[in-house]
Structure 1
Amino acid sequence: MHTTQVSRLVRAPRPVIYRALLDPEAIAAWRVPEGMSSRVHTFEAVEGGAFRISLTYDSSGEPGKSGEHTDTYHGRFVTLVPDELVVEESEFETGDAAMGGRMTMTTRLTDAGDGTLVTILHEGIPDAVSPADNETGTRMALDKLAALVEEVTGLSPA
């Protein structure tokens, strides 16, 4: 199992970012790496609430963890601290034991100058998932999050 951590300064206040962490339409827009599309099947943004999300590769040449070109994962919200913290547990829907196991994703929001430092800690990443690929995907997602919330607030990118 692997652990990764990625941070990014986002020029938006914590409450705006927190809302984007708990809105299924926003999640579908930002929490997806380049070259993939997202579909939110279930999303109950309360402590103990369930979620289920599929990420599909735009290119048919990419293998998926759950299907031919798709990574589907499901889980629950463990902890929600308004404007500060979101902790989620999830696992891939897969028959591949190397991709199995429960992962924890902790997203922390911290005031930082004229914006918010968003830090995402992934714990329990299956050995079959490259930590470098996970970090790259997380950076892409954080860039999309920044673009989404900075557009809403009218602040220029950091």
Structure 2
Amino acid sequence: MRVDSASRLLAAPPHAIFRAFIDPDLLSAWLPPEGASGRLQSFDPAVGGGFRMVLTFDAPDARGKFTQDSDVAETRIVALEPPNRVVWEVDFPSDDPAFAGTMTMAWSFAAGEVGTLVTVRCTDVPPGIDPRDHAVGLASSLAKLDHVVSSA
């Protein structure tokens, strides 16, 4: 079982960060990594609900899992514990078996004296997702989350 993780200290309080996970406009603004845009096709921010997001890559040489320039993330919400934790199960529709399986993303928001430490722990990462690319993507999403919650 492969596990990838990333963390970032944000100045925003946990409740503002949690809101960025349940507001469709905020989620679309921060979740896609740099070089990609995201479009929600469905969104139900409740346990048992979830969302379907299409990520379209800007680079002409992009290698998507769904089409040449896009990925699709079909996400089920398995836990919402305001304002400290969100857990998703994510599937990536693809003809390539290297992207098969369900990845779990557990997000935690730990308030401290100088901000909130946001940590994402991804388990059962499909082998087709390059670990270096995943690390860059997670760091990018966390940086965008920081910007979104700091601007709100």
**Equivalent residue letter for 1:8:** R
Counterparts of 1:65 and 1:151 in 2: how far apart (Å)?
32
**Equivalent residue letter for 1:87:** V
Residues 75 and 91 of structure 1 are in contact (CA less than 8 Å); yes or no, is this contact kept in structure 2? yes
Q: Which digits, 9 at most, give the CA deviation of each residue in 1:35-78, with x for residues without a partner?
A: 11111111101000031001111122212101121000102100
Taking the TM superposition and a 5 Å limit, the aligned residue runs for 1:75-154 are 75-152=75-152
Deviating runs (4+, > 6 A) in structure 1?
none
Counterparts of 1:85 and 1:50 in 2: how far apart (Å)?
15
Secondary structure in structure 1 of the residue aligned to 2:147: helix
Counterparts of 1:10 and 1:78 in 2: how far apart (Å)?
24
Counterparts of 2:40 and 2:75 in 1: how far apart (Å)?
12
Secondary structure in structure 1 of the residue aligned to 2:67: coil
TM-score by length of 2: 0.96
Q: Which digits, 9 at most, give the CA deviation of each residue in 1:83-125, with x for residues without a partner?
A: 0100000100111111111000000000122210000011111
Gaps of 5+ in 2: none
Counterparts of 1:21 and 1:44 in 2: how far apart (Å)?
11
TM-score by length of 1: 0.93
Secondary structure in structure 2 of the residue aligned to 1:20: helix
Counterparts of 1:78 and 1:100 in 2: how far apart (Å)?
19
Residues 103 and 122 of structure 1 are in contact (CA less than 8 Å); yes or no, is this contact kept in structure 2? yes
**Corresponding residue for residue 155 of structure 1:** none
Gaps of 5+ in 1: 153-158
Q: Indicate the RMSD between aligned Cα atoms, in angstroms.
A: 1.0
Q: Does 1:70 align with 2:67?
A: no
Residues 3 and 123 of structure 1 are in contact (CA less than 8 Å); yes or no, is this contact kept in structure 2? yes
Residues 2 and 131 of structure 1 are in contact (CA less than 8 Å); yes or no, is this contact kept in structure 2? no
The share of aligned pairs that are identical, in percent, is 37
